[in-house]
Amino acid sequence: MKALALTLTLALSPFLAAHASPGQQAARTEAPWQEQLSYDIPVRLLQMPVSFPIEYNAEVKRQLTDYLRRGRRETEKMLARTALYFPIFEYYLKKYNLPNELKYIPLLESRLRPDAESSAGAVGLWQFMPATAGNYRLQIDEYVDERMNPYQATEAAVKMLSWLYEELGDWSLALAAYNCGPGRVRAAVRRTGCHNFWDIQHLLPRQTQRYLPALAATIYVANFYGLHGLQPDPQKPLYQPFQVFKVQHSLDLGEISRHCGVSRSSLHRLNPGFLQEYIPYSSRGRYLILPEDALASFQRYVIKESRRTKQNYAVAVLSSHSHLPSASSAKAGDAARAKANI
């Protein structure tokens, strides 16, 4: 453990918006950057209630400088996407009783871009490798890549994080294992006899050594960006209200685009996990995201297809406000009544 590092271990608790609004924060006069790095920022970091120990060190400072100085515009774009994805993350973390601050992992992993792909082949918001995706029943083939689906990928990631914590018994170790795999973390624990990330950090791969510092910086930025004059704009079309359907029948995306008045580019941007102009059948169902104002048109289209094929289309409507999966479902003939589920 570095003697000069500032360390904090606090009990698990959701982050609280106990600071001024972004507009009020941005209006304040910023202190010189080095002064902030030396005093203001570490003080705030020490107040963040997270479930793993934080060290304020040179790597954290480097990551903060990247977010808040060199890459400000990209950081604002990333933060704007939280309006779309955070409610999904929060729902599944609550469902599996995991720490709320784990919702910040995809900011670090993918900058909240569901189609992000690493040079190693990891894909999606949570950056699943193909083998790991298969372990958590995420389908990858020529038609779909469920690593890009925010609902299915998030539930898979939450299950994986839950298992890692059960195996390792410490959130700092579980997070390291999420990055490099549990085998390397267990080997470092056995070699040192220590059960804390910071004590085994030097034995882990270089990328993993930087993982918790980068996550600490990410959490800080997501909570205190307004103090540094960042102003995310959530009013772009991608972040407008949307509606999610659980479809258990094959559908043509081109036909959906035509009937619902949604451009192909918008449809692909909202649903990057569909790799062709086609949603293949799945007994588990597939999530389809559409702009909220396309709800009525989509319902009419589903009814039309049901009558044409004489088959039932099971479509479960997800909340357009909380983005949480609904237990209710509607067959195509009942689609007109699905608004009651919104």
> What count of other Cβ atoms lies within 10 Å of the Cβ of residue 76?
15
From 153, 37, 143, select the one nearest 92 (Cα to Cα). 153
Domain 18-228 belongs to what topology? Lysozyme (1.10.530)
To the question of pTM greater than 0.85 for the whole model, the response is no
pLDDT reported for residue 320: 46
> Tokens 């189609």 correspond to what residue?
115
**pLDDT tens for each residue of 111-157:** 999 999 999 999 999 999 999 999 999 999 999 999 999 999 999 99
Catalytically active residues are 109
Q: How confident is the model at residue 302 (pLDDT cuts 50, 70, 90)?
A: confident
Distance, in Å, from the CA atom of 45 to the CA atom of 217, rounded to the nearest integer, reads 9
**pLDDT tens for each residue of 304-332:** 887 887 777 767 666 545 556 654 443 43
Question: Element (H or E) spanning 22, and its range?
Answer: helix 22-27
Domain ranges of the chain: 18-228, 240-341
> Tokens 């600071």 correspond to what residue?
19
pLDDT reported for residue 309: 77
Q: Please name every residue paired with 286 in a beta bridge, in sequence order, or none if there are none.
A: 247
251-252 and 278-279 beta bridge pairing: antiparallel
From 38, 29, 77, select the one nearest 61 (Cα to Cα). 38
**pLDDT tens for each residue of 83-124:** 889 989 999 999 999 999 999 999 999 999 999 999 999 999
